[in-house]
Amino acid sequence: MHKSMGKAFYWAFQNIEKFFIILSYGSMTAIIFIEVIRRFLFNEQSAWSTTIPIYLFLWLAWMGASYNTQKRSHLRFTEMRQRLSYGAQFSCLILDTVLWFVMGAVVIYFSVEQVYISYDNFSIVQGTDDVMQWWFYLATPCAWTLLLIRVVQNLVSDYQDFKAGRPLAVQAATFGD
Amino acid sequence: MDGLLISLISLGVTGLFILGVPIFLVISFWVIGVSLVIDFTLANIGVTLYEGLNFYGLLALPLFILTGDLINAAGIAKRLSDFAYACLGFMRGGLGMASLGACGMFAAISGSNSATTATIGSIMHPEMKKGGYDEEFAAATVAAGGCVGIIIPPSIIFIVYGFMMNLPIGDLFLAGMIPGTLMVVAMMATCWFLSRRNGWGHLIKFSPKRIIKTGSKAWLGFLAMGIVLFGLSTGAFSPTEAAGVTTGFCLLAGLLITRQFGLKDLPKIMMRSGQITGMLAPLIAVSVVMQQVLSLLGAKAFLTGVITSLGGFYPILFACMAIVFVAGTVLESLPVTVILAPILAPIAASIGVDPIQFAVIFLVGASIGFITPPYGLNLYVASGMTGIPYLRIVKHVVPYLIALTLTWFAIALIPGISLWILS
C-alpha cells in the first residue's frame, strides 16, 4: 500500500510541470478562441479575456522552463562540449548545476518579494472582481524551485552515469518527447 | 575600472557559451555580473521576469507554436507537402524545391523557423533521400527552408519586434509577405541549379490532375492561411486573436475532419509546444533585462556614435546589417531582436529608413542567423532529426546562405519589396 502510494506520489511529482503546462496552455487557448468567436458572432466579450491569458502565460513560460531543465533541452551550443574529455564533460555538468543554483537563488529571492508586494496590496487582475494577481505571480518562484529540484535530479543521474562510465548527457535535445 | 570588469565578465560569459552552458544562463550571468559592477539592483530581475512577459501581443507566440504542432499532427503539413511536390516534381530538383515551397506554406500558418524545419524536414527529408538526393544536401535544404518561418506571416519574431518597438504587428506581418516569398524563390533557384549540376532527384510527369487532387486534399491548409490573412488584412482580429482562431481551427480540423489525432493525443501535442514555449519565453524575459542593463551602460549612445560616424546612408545601413548578421551567428534570434532592435532601429530611422522596412531588414538578417554557424538553430534541428553531423550540413548550406544574403541586400536596397503591400 505504502509502496504503491510512494510510486503514485513519485509519478505525480515527476509530472507536475506537465500538469501546469497543459492546464495553463489549454485554458489560455480556449479563452482567446472562444472570446474571439463570441465577439465575432454575438458582439460580446468578457473584460477579463485579455488579462487572464497573460497571467496564465506566466505559469506556462516558467513551468516550461522547468520542464526544459528536466529534459535538458534549453537552447545551447553543444559542439565544443561534445569534443571535451569525459572528465571535462562531467565538470561542465557540475558547472551548469552551480550556475542554475546561483541564478535560481537570485530569481526566487526577488520574485518572492514581488509576490508579497502584490499579496499585500490586494492587487486584483484587471477585468475581474476577485481574482488575485499573486496567484499568477507565484508562478516564477514555484517553477524556479521545481527547476532547481530538476537540476539536482539531473546531477544525481549524471553522477551515476559518470561512476558507471556511461556516456554523459552533453547533447542538447532541441525537441524532446 | 568598471569597463575592465565588464569586459572580463563579457569574456567569461562567452567562455560559458562556448562550454555549452544554456544561453538563458549565459545572458543571466552577464546581467547579474554587470548589475553588480554598476551597482544596479538585482531586484530588477525579479520584476522584469514578470513584466517582460506581460504583454497581450506576446501570447501569439505560444499560440502559433501550438498551431504548428497541430497542423503537423492533423496531417495538414503532409498534404501541403504533397501539393508542393505535385506542382514542382516535374523539374530537376523538384522534390527539393517542393520542400522549400512546403516550408513557405507551413510558415504561412505557423510562425517559427525551427518548427518549420522540424515539421517539413521530418516529412520531406526521407522523401528526398529516397528520391535520389544527397542526404546532407537534403538536410541543408530543409534547414535553409525553415528560415522563412519567421518572415512569411504569421511570425513569432515579428510579434516580439513589434512589442519591443511599438510597431503595428499586423503591418509587420503584411510587410514580410513579399520578402518571405522572394527568399523561397531564391532558395528554389539555388536548389534547381545544384540539383541540375549534380543530377539529383527523379522526375515525375507534370500532371494537372495530380495538382488538382493534392490541392483539393490540402484545402484545410489553404483555409488556415486564409483565416490568418483575412484577420490581419481586414483588422477583424489582432495577431494574438488570429493565432487563437487558427489554433482552434487546426484543433477542430484534426479532431473532426482529418481525424488524425484524438482528444487523448492532445496532451502530448501541447507538451511539445509547451516545451518550445518554455525555451523561448524565458529567453525573451531575460533579454529584456539585458537590454535594460545595456541602456544603463550607454551602449545605445556608444553604438549610435560609432555607426553614425561612418557617415552616409549606405555605410550606416550596411553597418546595421553587419551587426545583425554577426550577432545572429552566435545568438538565438530572440535575444538578437530584444537586445539590438532598440539600438539599431532608431539609427536606421535617423537616416530615413522606414521603421517597417527596417524591421523586415533586421528580421531577415536574424533569420539568416538560423543557418549560420557556430550557432545556427535550424542546422541543429536538421542534424538532430536526420542524425547527420552538424558540420557536414554546414558545408551544404553555404549556397543557400549566399542566395539568402543576396535576397537580403535586395530587400534592404529596394523598399518597395517590403512596403508595396502596405501602400
Q: What pLDDT, in 10s, does the model give residues A76-86? A: 887 788 889 99
Residues 6+ apart with CB under 8 A from B408: B321, B361, B364, B365, B368
**Cell numbers found for residue B257:** 475532419
- Whether B267 sits inside 8 A of A18 (CB atoms) is yes
Rounded distance, CA B148 to CA B155, Å?
A: 9
What DSSP state is assigned to residue A168? P
User: To probe the interface with A, which of B61, B252, B270, B379 has the most A CB atoms within 10 Å?
Assistant: B270
Rounded distance, CA A22 to CA B128, Å?
A: 35
Residue A177: per-residue pLDDT: 36
* Of A46, A161, A22, A40, the residue nearest B275 (C-alpha): A22
Residue B69: per-residue pLDDT: 87
Residues 6+ apart with CB under 8 A from A75: A172, A174, B22, B23, B24, B279, B283, B332, B377
Nearest CB to A110; choose among B23, B42, B56: B42
* Contact list, A99 vs chain B (CB under 8 Å): 16, 21, 25, 29
The complex's ipTM works out to: 0.93
| Residues in chain A with pLDDT values less than 70 | 1, 171-177
**Cell numbers found for residue A58:** 506566466
CA-nearest residue to A51 within chain B is B56
Q: Torsion-angle region of residue B312: left (phi > 0), alpha (psi -120 to 50) or beta?
A: left
For residue range A14-35, what is the model confidence (pLDDT) as tens digits? 999 999 999 999 999 999 999 9
**Cell numbers found for residue A87:** 572528465
| Residues in chain B with pLDDT values less than 50 | none
* Contact list, B272 vs chain A (CB under 8 Å): 175-177
* Contact list, B20 vs chain A (CB under 8 Å): 76-82, 92, 170, 172
* Contact list, B236 vs chain A (CB under 8 Å): 40
